[in-house]
Structure formats: structure tokens, C-alpha cells
Amino acid sequence: MDLEFKMKHFKAIYERYHKASRRLKKIILDEFCEVCGYNRKYAIHKLNGSSLEDKIYLQQVAKFRRRRPAIYHPQTIQLLSKVWEAASYPCSVRLKAIISLWMPWIEKRYHPTEEVKKQLLQISPRQIDRRLQAYKRQVGRRIYGRTKPGTLLKHHIPIKTDRWDVKIPGFTEVDTVPHSGNSGEGLFAYSVNQTDILTGWVETRAVLGKGEKAVNKALEDMEKYFPFKILGIDSDNGSEFINYHLSKRCERQGIQFTRGRPYKKDDNAHIEQKNWTHVRKIMGWNRYDTQEAVEAMNDLYQNELRLFMNLFMPSMKQVEKERIGSKPKRKHDNPLTPLDRLIASGEGDPIKVTILKRLREQTDPFELSKSIEKKLLAIYNKANHRQSPKPSPADNKLQKKDHPELTYQEQEVIKEISRIFGIEVKGPKEIVYS
């Protein structure tokens, strides 16, 4: 029996079935099952469902189904993405704090309407995550560690394992980040990173090699740029820190010098986080092994990057942690910039704090972000691409000025995807990254 006959028979008995009594419905159902060969339960489901005309009508209406009206203006979402990109892709909670902090420069640069401005200030972090979902990418990468233990003064420097619960700025953690590329042989650059526990203030310097004198000189230079007095230094067990040069200097200046346990990165959790956000995420995994590259990195570290991170980038601090069953639940404070945390503590150098506050009022974070991108491209040109994880662009396509659509981080992501999957990924205007 063909389908056309079944449909004609169904149309013929559909109206009669719905108007019939309970006893007559049983007779019609028996007839329908016998003629069409249907299972009884399927026949009941088919006769009790919508008619063919109703189904066609519902399909047509579904195309014009009313949806919830759009709450956020398209310009609001566009500005969200622009601020998110200029701020180096922070999380939604930090981005909400950044919008409030950057609002004077957002108004000067993009001239939003009052409605858009109100939406930017009122949007919740969860809604930010939803609206930016289409823009987000996640790429996994691995970090190459090159630290060798120093044993000379190891037993003379006390181990710091208790929880950092300081009330004044000045107690810091230090670490080095290698820029060795794929090879750990030979001489290459390191970034010496130092962060304050209370405020999250970070200073960074690049050195060629990891010699004791060079690292100690970098720490001395960074100490001048901190807007408060250094009271303590906590390091890992690397020989670049566990040496007489740093130990004697700390002893002369009355600085508390401690170290973490060997192979326990959690003892230096603050600086390990900053190693990613302030160095590795920005500089990438390329190999830098020339003095010219080190000087270019220091030019960025000492100027634009330190101002951008310390004056304009809020961060959150964990204030409580409890375990519910097998899952830890963490609570964080409101996002604040390192400068705001320093002002709230009331312990910074008044002259330096005043200068920094005035500097933040006069500096455009969007221009600062552009300047950082420009210097990063110049630094990238100085990398040793033969010993870097990513292949060198043979025709220098990354440095073309007629393709301003991609930022440095986006270019790195595209090249990393090409390397992982072994395919050619095309960027804007048919740029091929392979």
C-alpha cells in the first residue's frame, strides 16, 4: 500500500474520528489499523495529533515566531569587544571594572550615546561572557622551564611556606621566565619578574643569560621603579637568586630574603600567575638571544607595559576558599588596579603616588595598547625564528602594514593553529599562515 493512499484514508477518517463517540472511535481505530497496517499505539498517536492543515500552518507561523526584543544596542557589543581586545582579553569581571575605569577615554574615542554608555556601565559579567562568546578562543601551550637549583646558600636562606597575609606593600616574589624557544642550549634572554603580594604591582626586566650579577642588577633597577620600599623578597631555589650577591644586598638593606620549597611551585603562586599574564602571554614562546632583542624588551617593560598593567588593568584577589564536598569554592574581592590597591593601603611613597595618579589621568589606555602592539611586532622581528616553536614567515607577512585587522596575539593564535593541525589558515585579505 502506497503512502498516498494512506494519507487520503487518514484525511477521510480524521474529522469523523474526532467527532465520534468512544465506542465508535474503537471501530474506526480498528479499521484504520487493518487498512493501513499501523501499530495500534502509533495509530492512536497519529489520529490524536494535529491535522495536516494545522501542521502546515504551524510550520509557517514558526518562521515568524515572536522573539524577545534585543536589549543591548549593537554599538554596545562592538565597544565591549574593542575594550576587551585593547585590554588584552581579560575575564568578564575584570572587564566590567576596566569599562568603568576607561570610560573617559571611551567617550573621547568612540563618542557613545547616553543609552550605550548606560548599558556599558550596567551590563553584568555573565552577560559580557554571553555577548563575547563568539570572539573567544582558547589555545593550549606549554612552558619551557630552565631553572637549575642553587646549593651554595640554600641552607642559609629560610623557607617561606605559610600563607602570605600581609597588610602593607613591599613583600615581593621573584622569578625568571626563559625565552629559549625550542632549544635550551646557548645564551638566550630571560625576563626577571617581581610582584608585590598586597597590591599586585609588577616590574619586569629582560637580561641576556641568567648570571647572578645580571639578575641582581635587574632587581636593583626594578627597586627604583616600585612606588614603595621593598621589605621582602621570596624566590625559588634557582642559582640566579640563591647566591651571595643577592643575599648580601638584602642583608645590607634590611630586606627579608626567603625561598620556597624545591619543586613546589605553589609556594610562589603569586609570581607564577604573573609570569603568564605579564610575560609569557605577551612575549610568547619565541627565542630571543641577542642584546638588541633584550634592549627592545626592556624598552617595553620599563615604559608602556608597566604603566598599562599597573595603572589600567584591574585584578582580583582571592579572599576566601572553602571546600564543599570534593569541589573548592573560591571568593574574590572586587577588581582593582595595583595603583588603586596601593592608594587604599596608604603606605606608598606620596610623591610617586601623586605622579602616577596624574599620569593615569593624562594617559589614553587605547593609545597605550596600540603602542604596546607596535613594539611587540618590532620585538618579534628580532626573534631567532629558526629555534622558535613557530616557523618564521618567509615573506614577512606578519609585518605588513596594510593588514591592521589582526593584533599580535591573534596572529600568534592563527600560526599556532596552523602548526597544530598542519593546515593553512587564511587570515583577512587571503593572508596564508602555514
- Domain final position from 381, 402, 418: 381
Contact 313, 365 (CB under 8 A): no
Q: Are residues 105 and 34 in the same domain?
A: no
Q: Which residue has the higher pLDDT, 200 or 266?
A: 200
Strand partners of residue 234? 173, 258
Q: Are residues 58 and 94 in the same domain?
A: no
Q: Are residues 226 and 349 in the same domain?
A: yes
User: What span, in angstroms and rounded, lies between the C-alpha atoms of 348 and 342?
Assistant: 6
Q: Are residues 198 and 296 in the same domain?
A: yes
At residue 427 the predicted structure's pLDDT band, cuts being 50, 70 and 90, is low
Percent of the chain clearing pLDDT 90 (strictly above)? 36
At residue 137 the predicted structure's pLDDT band, cuts being 50, 70 and 90, is low
Q: Are residues 428 and 279 in the same domain?
A: no
At residue 152 the predicted structure's pLDDT band, cuts being 50, 70 and 90, is very low
Q: Which value, to the nearest 10 degrees, does the dihedral of the CA atoms of residues 320, 324, 328, 330 take?
A: -30
Q: Which helix (H) or strand (E) holds 322?
A: strand 318-324
Question: How high is the pLDDT of residue 276?
Answer: 87
DSSP, collapsed to helix, strand or coil, labels residue 334 as coil
At residue 403 the predicted structure's pLDDT band, cuts being 50, 70 and 90, is very low
Q: Are residues 171 and 87 in the same domain?
A: no
User: What span, in angstroms and rounded, lies between the C-alpha atoms of 249 and 238?
Assistant: 17
DSSP 424: -
User: What span, in angstroms and rounded, lies between the C-alpha atoms of 341 and 331?
Assistant: 18
Mean pLDDT of all residues in 199-210: 93
For the stretch 110-123, pLDDT in tens is 999 999 999 999 99
Closest CA to 112 of 142, 77, 163, 60: 77
Q: Are residues 286 and 304 in the same domain?
A: yes
For the stretch 296-341, pLDDT in tens is 999 999 999 999 999 999 988 888 888 888 888 888 888 999 999 9
Q: Are residues 354 and 406 in the same domain?
A: no
Question: How high is the pLDDT of residue 184?
Answer: 81
At residue 51 the predicted structure's pLDDT band, cuts being 50, 70 and 90, is low
Question: How high is the pLDDT of residue 146?
Answer: 43
Q: Are residues 124 and 238 in the same domain?
A: no
Question: How high is the pLDDT of residue 369?
Answer: 92
Q: Are residues 273 and 182 in the same domain?
A: yes
Can you give the pTM of this predicted structure? 0.66
Max CA distance (Å), the chain: 105
Contact 198, 171 (CB under 8 A): yes
Q: What is the mean pLDDT of the chain?
A: 81
pLDDT at 149 over 50: no
List the domain range (segments joined by +) for residue 171: 154-381
Question: How high is the pLDDT of residue 398?
Answer: 41
Question: How high is the pLDDT of residue 311?
Answer: 94
Enumerate the H helices of 39-197 as residue ranges.
40-48, 52-63, 74-86, 92-110, 114-122, 125-131
In a domain, 142, yes or no: no
Closest CA to 192 of 211, 175, 171, 210: 175
- The total of structural domains in the chain comes to 4
For the stretch 375-394, pLDDT in tens is 999 999 998 887 777 554 44
Question: How high is the pLDDT of residue 133?
Answer: 82
E strands in 149-281: 171-179, 189-196, 202-208, 232-235, 256-259
Q: Which residue has the higher pLDDT, 361 or 151?
A: 361
Distances (CA, A) of 56 to 51, 63, 66, 83, 213: 9, 11, 18, 47, 82
Question: How high is the pLDDT of residue 145?
Answer: 41
Question: How high is the pLDDT of residue 238?
Answer: 82
- Determine how β-strand 189-196 pairs with β-strand 171-179: antiparallel
In a domain, 163, yes or no: yes
In a domain, 371, yes or no: yes
